[in-house]
Amino acid sequence: MATGDLSTWPTIATDAGAAALVVQRRDAELIAKGGKTQTSQVVDGSLSRSGNELSFEVLAEVPVQRPELLQEQSGLSRLRRRSVVKCVLKGTDVYQIWGSALETDWNDGEEVSLRAAATSFRLL
C-alpha cells in the first residue's frame, strides 16, 4: 500500500524496482538529449542496499550505425557499456554517481577504478 513516504528505499519500491526506475530515467534522459534508444538492464545479482545507499551494475547495448564495419575493424559484433551505479537517498532527493566503460575496457581492468570511485561517493 502506497503511503506517500519517499524517505527510504523500501517505501519507494523494492530494491530491484528502485534500480529499474533509476535506469529507465537515465535512458529517457539520454533519448531526450538526442541520443539513440538504448536498452539498459540491471545486472542480475548486483543489487545491494545499506541504509540510504543503493548500489548496482547496469549493462547497456550501445547503438552501432554500421555493425559490419565494427566487426571488420575491431572483431566485435556489438558494443556494450557496463556501469557501476551508487544512489544515495537524502530526504526525498536521490543523488547518483555512474562510472561507465565499454565492456571490453571493463573486463580489461577499468572495473577496479570505477568501483573505487563509486564506493568513495559520499554526501556531505
| Domain, as residue range, for 97 | 9-120
Average pLDDT, integer, range 6-21:
90
Q: Is residue 30 part of a domain?
A: yes
Q: Is residue 4 part of a domain?
A: no
Hey, what's the torsion of the CAs at 30, 31, 32, 35, to 10 degrees? 80
Quote the pTM value. 0.86
pLDDT tens-digit series, residues 34-66 = 766 677 999 999 999 999 999 999 999 888 888
81: how many CB neighbours lie within 10 A of its CB?
17
Domains contained in the chain, number: 1
Alpha helices in the chain (DSSP H): 9-12, 15-32, 67-74, 103-105, 111-120
Residue-wise burial string across 21-52, b where 16 or more C-beta atoms lie within 10 A, e elsewhere:
ebbeebbeeeeeeeeeeeebebeeeebebeeb
pLDDT tens-digit series, residues 75-120 = 887 889 999 999 999 988 999 999 999 999 999 999 999 999 999 9
Q: Is residue 2 part of a domain?
A: no
Q: Is residue 3 part of a domain?
A: no
Q: Is residue 13 part of a domain?
A: yes
